[in-house]
Amino acid sequence: MTAAFVFPGQGSQAVGMGKALAEAFAPARAVFDEVDAALGEKLTATMWDGPADKLTLTENAQPALMAVSVAVMRVLEAEAGVDIKRDAKFVAGHSLGEYSALAAAGAFSITDAAKLLRIRGSAMQKAVPVGTGAMAALLGLELEAASAVAAEAAQGEVCQAANDNGGGQVVVSGNKSAVERAVEIAKAKGAKRAMMLQVSAPFHCALMQPAADAMAEALGKTNIKVPAVPVVANVLAQPISDPKEIVKRLVEQVTGTVRWRECAAYMAGQGVTTFYELGAGKVLTGLLKRIADGATGTPIGTPDDVAAFKAKRS
């Protein structure tokens, strides 16, 4: 087993995502119907018809992205005979994608994943008043240098590395004034580019503690099983399978750094040579090329992608 299934995070959403899958495949329709039922609303209407700003709302984007990812997984199982336990060494996801990975591997039901991500998205949005927090991308600095920039910029406020995406791309998160300082310090310290991001809240930093508390409560009431294959946890960059540890790490992930570079490097170091990105977009596929030398990344999110995957396997 030299493959891993990986699942995208927020920012990969686009109006229309998953629609062609639903039209082409009954297993995909079943996933979208289950998500709509779990949330008591037609999230699929927003996913397929927009408006884009409604889909981008964190409380909608998170369950929507999970729905597309798990729909792809179910289609691959039905159409291409994929068995995650047999065909994948690991699963992993970027931020909310960790929930998609766990749902795909059977650790929780689609209904529970949708409800958890609705709570997570809503709690992350409410944790910090709009305009108080911010995030910025620092390009051309590795994690250690970016963390030093964040520490210098904090000046008594919150500023920390939120995402270590690999290829010299680190995102910092925290109080808006501190993040603005980080952009200027990063430029002075040789970053190729440093820019504020259009986000609705400062994710993956200490300001998200109220959301972490909400997730601890919600996850504590959720039935979590041992996943079919280990999930490489964002906050550890190590594989975990124990349900109690899964809860602990998902709670930590709300305020902790998404160590994506290390997650991908760990999987590559364990012999993974093929990464399949299941769901919307191909952000992770692009990042993987910069992290894991010689590994191939293949995004699967449309009926054509499914057909190409099947053709390769036959």
Of 69, 147, 200, 204, which one is the catalytic site residue? 204
Q: Is the dihedral angle over the CA atoms 92, 249, 17, 36 positive or is it negative?
A: positive
Quick check: 67 and 36 in contact, CB under 8 A?
A: no
Of residues 65 and 199, which shows the higher confidence score? 65
204 belongs to the catalytic site:
yes
Could you report the per-residue pLDDT of 32-64, keeping only the tens digit for each? 999 999 999 999 999 999 999 999 999 999 999
Residues 144 and 27 placed together within one structural domain of the fold: no
Residues 215 and 99 placed together within one structural domain of the fold: yes
Domain termination site, one of 199, 218, 245: 199
Residues 82 and 187 placed together within one structural domain of the fold: no
Residues 82 and 144 placed together within one structural domain of the fold: no
Could you report the per-residue pLDDT of 77-95, keeping only the tens digit for each? 999 999 999 999 999 999 9
Domain termination site, one of 199, 224, 240: 199
Mean pLDDT value of segment 288-312: 94
Residues 115 and 229 placed together within one structural domain of the fold: yes
Of 95, 100, 147, 173, which one is the catalytic site residue? 95
Residues 102 and 56 placed together within one structural domain of the fold: yes
- Judge if the upstream peptide bond of residue 299 is cis by omega within 30 degrees of 0: no
Could you report the per-residue pLDDT of 143-184, keeping only the tens digit for each? 999 999 999 999 999 999 999 999 899 999 999 999 999 999
Q: For the chain, what percentages of helix, strand and coil (3-state, to nearest 5) are there?
A: 55, 15, 30
**Is the predicted pLDDT of residue 206 greater than 80, yes or no?**
yes
Residues 102 and 228 placed together within one structural domain of the fold: yes
Mean pLDDT value of segment 102-122: 98
Average pLDDT in the chain: 96
For the domain that residue 176 is a member of, what is the CATH number?
Answer: 3.30.70.250
pLDDT band at 229 (very low <50, low <70, confident <90, very high): very high
The percent of residues in the chain predicted with pLDDT above 90, rounded, is 95
Residues 176 and 143 placed together within one structural domain of the fold: yes
pLDDT band at 198 (very low <50, low <70, confident <90, very high): confident
- What pLDDT score was predicted for residue 1? 65
Residues 235 and 273 placed together within one structural domain of the fold: yes
Residues 115 and 220 placed together within one structural domain of the fold: yes
**Is the predicted pLDDT of residue 196 greater than 80, yes or no?**
yes
Q: How many domains does the chain have?
A: 2
Mean pLDDT value of segment 289-302: 93
For the domain that residue 75 is a member of, what is the CATH number?
Answer: 3.40.366.10
Residues 257 and 118 placed together within one structural domain of the fold: yes
Mean pLDDT value of segment 223-239: 98
pLDDT band at 313 (very low <50, low <70, confident <90, very high): confident
Residues 263 and 307 placed together within one structural domain of the fold: yes
CA distance 234 to 253: 7
Domain termination site, one of 183, 199, 215: 199
* Residues in CB range of 272: below 8 A, 6 or more apart: 2, 3, 4, 89, 90, 292, 295
**Is the predicted pLDDT of residue 200 greater than 90, yes or no?**
no
Range of the domain at 104: 3-127+207-313
The percent of residues in the chain predicted with pLDDT above 70, rounded, is 100
CA distance 265 to 114: 29
